[in-house]
Amino acid sequence: MDNAIALVTGANKGIGKEIARQLAAEGLTVYVGARDAGRGEQAAGEIGSGARPLRLDVTDAAGIAAAKQVGALDILVNNAGISLDDKTPDQQDADEFRQVYETNVFGVVAVTNAFLPALRRSAHPRIVNISSSTGSIAVAAARDAAGFGAYRSSKTALNMLTVLYAKALAADGVKVNALAPGLRRTDLNSRTAESGGDPAEAAAGAVRLALLPDSGPTGEFFSWDGTTVPW
């Protein structure tokens, strides 16, 4: 992956920023995607050499179109995501589901499709979707909890997209995988802010998938520690 170029969405803070930091440390040029240009510039400055700020709101079609003018791209990390409150689906209305899906699902489709021409030109194209073990149907069925209905179901949808993109892009050599980062200390919601672990640990798992060799897997769901997660 010498001279490789990566884009990480939602990279001005949390797991996304750590992913960008670690990719830059590997010698890559990394576009630090952020909705707020100022925060993106600050994050890129803190990461240092190799980091480039990129204003990118994954829910804004015009902004995505402008962002894809960066040209060459080898790695796309779809990290941007929102959660809202810990409500069960019967407590959330359709507008709350739309808000979460707009970023966590539709935003991934919009950004991925916009950058596919550049990825297809890469010798070693990789896509990493930051999902969640709470989006696993097998995990959900084994638990009693039913909270975060919109968030968890959006990650289930993202998991399906991971499989479908992997199959659709296999002939182009694009490897597409999903990562369950575990509970991390971020501002995604009150639970993660209070009891999450180090975001850098999760980021390392994403970087592994971003730098997979050509013999590596595609269309799979991994935990941050490299073990597989049931769909």
| Tokens 């399906």 found at | 160
Contacts within 8 Å (CB) and 24+ apart, 204-208: 204/22, 205/179, 205/181, 206/15, 206/19, 206/77, 206/79, 206/128, 206/130, 206/179, 206/181, 207/19, 207/22, 207/23, 207/26
Give catalytic status of residue 175 as yes or no: no
Give catalytic status of residue 155 as yes or no: yes
Distance CA 23, CA 191 (A): 27
Do 157 and 101 touch, CB atoms closer than 8 A? yes
Helix, strand, or coil (residue 221):
strand
Q: Residue 199: which H helix or E strand, with range?
A: helix 199-210
Catalytic choice (31, 101, 151, 165): 151
Name the amino acid, one letter, at 32. V
Catalytic choice (17, 68, 101, 155): 155
Residues with Cβ within 8 Å of residue 212, at least 6 apart in sequence? 126, 175, 177
Q: Could you tell me whether strands 5-8 and 75-78 are parallel, antiparallel, or unpaired per DSSP bridges?
A: parallel
Q: Give the residue numbers marked as catalytic.
A: 151, 155
